[in-house]
């Protein structure tokens, strides 16, 4: 075999085109296009012949050409920031994975783009101007964040993962997890195990998500006639803050159990217990929130509230499809209920 033959055998094969399918099947290009995009327009025998030819040739529709024709991109934009250092929470990673899966099942793809805290709408503005995406998923719904309001003003299709905490007049669609229901589950679980002095370690007061989770602990304690005075602490969501808060509460209030606003804070509690040679689940019970991978692989096994992020993703994509097809949305807000993953720590 000559050198030119060897080189020639390595050249890539040109992928089949719509015209190739039409010629092989003995139909027009429009018929092939209808078979791909509007199969209901074709007779069953014609549709079957075209589909068989597509399979034989290995034809794949040109997504770029379709996007130009329909003026859509089939892309959903999501602003994504890396996990904060010193935390054990990867809930957002799990949500993104679930969102990608739910999107691909209905023919969409997720486009991640970085965010700039100094210009929280900059990335959205650039993508809107370039018509690079069809819609957005907004995850930054904390107090004062302008993204949802700005996208509403631009009439851009989007669904928020999180409630509009600071805007009672907001009309955009959102999906969220009932944090208070999760901590009610956690607290009642500990009460059922015989605990009466159950401490709470949560986030600072300016976090509406943290306050929502705290309310579940507080309501359940009061509903069972249990005292809460001196049993609550608000700290930054990092491991060392959880550890320090646990040490103070153990010294001053002598709780027998902890409910935490995150697995990150719960890991801090476990660290303090390890230093003091107290056994989680035996001497002191601990429950976290988010059911992170760390909670699942920790040697003792951390009991944790599990958010139904897979269901959140499916609900968001279902709602986005309705918005993009101009169908009525059944409700402005969907609140999903978490579950409790019980392990050795409680």
**pLDDT tens-digit series, residues 311-332:** 999 999 999 989 888 887 777 8
Sheet of strand 109-113, all strands in order from the earlier edge strand to the far edge? 109-113, 75-79, 135-138, 158-161, 173-177, 333-336
pLDDT > 50? residue 1: no
Candidate ranges 41-45, 57-61, 114-118, 243-247; pick with highest mean pLDDT? 243-247
The mean pLDDT of 236-265, rounded to a whole number, is: 97
Q: Give Cα 329 to chain centroid, integer Å.
A: 20
> Token pair 């969907």 is at which residue?
334
pLDDT > 80? residue 281: yes
Q: Label residue 133 by pLDDT band (50, 70, 90).
A: confident
Rounded to whole angstroms, what are the CA distances from 172 to 158, 159, 296, 318, 332?
8, 7, 35, 15, 7
Q: What are phi and psi of 247, to 5 degrees?
A: -60, -45
Rounded to whole angstroms, what are the CA distances from 90 to 93, 138, 252, 309?
5, 17, 32, 12
| DSSP 8-state class, residue 82 | P
pLDDT > 90? residue 222: yes
Give the relative orientation of helices 44-57 and 18-25 as an angle to the nearest 10 degrees. 120
pLDDT > 90? residue 117: no
What pLDDT, in 10s, does the model give residues 50-100? Answer: 999 998 988 876 554 554 444 557 899 998 876 665 555 678 888 999 999
Q: Do 258 and 55 form a contact (C-beta atoms < 8 A)? A: no
Question: Per the structure block, which two tokens stand in for 203?
Answer: 């986030």
Distance separating alpha carbons of residues 232 and 246, to the nearest angstrom: 10
144: left (phi over 0), alpha (psi -120 to 50) or beta: left
pLDDT at 340: 98
**pLDDT averaged over the chain?**
87
- Closest by alpha carbon to 214, among 227, 225, 201? 201
The mean pLDDT of 259-283, rounded to a whole number, is: 97
List the Cα angle 77/83/87 in 5-degree steps.
155
pLDDT > 80? residue 45: yes
The mean pLDDT of 136-149, rounded to a whole number, is: 80
Binning the chain into helix, strand and coil, the percentages to the nearest 5 are: 45, 15, 40
- Which residue segments constitute the domains of the chain, with CATH numbers given? 3-61 (1.10.260.40), 75-177+309-335 (3.40.50.2300), 179-306 (3.40.50.2300)
Show the beta-strand stretches assigned E in the chain: 75-79, 109-113, 135-138, 158-161, 173-177, 198-203, 232-235, 257-260, 285-289, 303-306, 333-336, 339-341
pLDDT at 166: 72
Rg of the chain in Å (alpha carbons): 27
pLDDT at 249: 98
Rounded to whole angstroms, what are the CA distances from 303 to 18, 147, 262?
55, 34, 11
């Amino acid at each position: 075999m000559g050198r030119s033959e060897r080189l020639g055998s390595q050249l890539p094969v040109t992928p089949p085109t719509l015209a190739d399918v039409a010629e092989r099947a003995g139909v027009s290009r429009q018929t092939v296009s209808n078979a791909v995009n509007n199969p209901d327009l074709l007779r069953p025998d014609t549709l079957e012949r075209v589909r068989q030819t597509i399979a034989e040739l290995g034809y794949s529709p040109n997504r770029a050409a379709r996007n130009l024709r329909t003026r859509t991109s089939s892309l959903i934009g999501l602003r994504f920031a890396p996990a904060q250092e010193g935390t054990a929470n990867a809930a957002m990673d799990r949500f993104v994975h679930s969102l990608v899966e739910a999107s691909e099942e209905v023919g969409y793809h997720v486009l991640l783009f970085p965010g700039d805290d100094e210009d929280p709408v900059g990335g959205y503005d650039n993508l809107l101007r370039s018509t690079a995406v069809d819609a957005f998923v907004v995850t930054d719904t904390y107090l004062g964040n302008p993204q949802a309001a700005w996208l509403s003003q631009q009439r851009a299709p989007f669904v928020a993962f999180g409630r509009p905490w600071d805007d009672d007049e907001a009309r955009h669609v959102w999906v969220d997890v009932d944090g208070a229901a999760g901590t009610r589950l956690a607290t009642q679980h500990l009460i059922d195990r015989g605990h009466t002095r159950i401490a709470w370690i949560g986030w600072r007061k300016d976090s509406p998500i943290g306050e929502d989770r705290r309310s579940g602990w507080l309501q359940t304690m009061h509903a069972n006639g249990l005292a809460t005075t001196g049993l609550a602490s608000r700290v930054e969501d990092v491991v060392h803050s959880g550890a320090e808060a646990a040490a103070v509460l153990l010294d001053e209030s002598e709780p027998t159990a902890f409910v935490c606003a995150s697995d990150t804070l719960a890991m801090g509690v476990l660290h303090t217990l390890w230093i003091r040679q107290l056994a989680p689940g035996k001497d002191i019970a601990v429950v976290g929130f988010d059911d992170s991978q760390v909670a699942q692989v920790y040697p003792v096994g951390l009991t944790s509230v599990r958010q139904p992020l897979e269901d959140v993703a499916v609900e968001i994509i279902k709602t986005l499809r309705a918005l993009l097809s101009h169908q009525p949305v059944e409700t402005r807000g969907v609140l999903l209920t978490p579950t409790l993953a019980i392990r050795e720590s409680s």
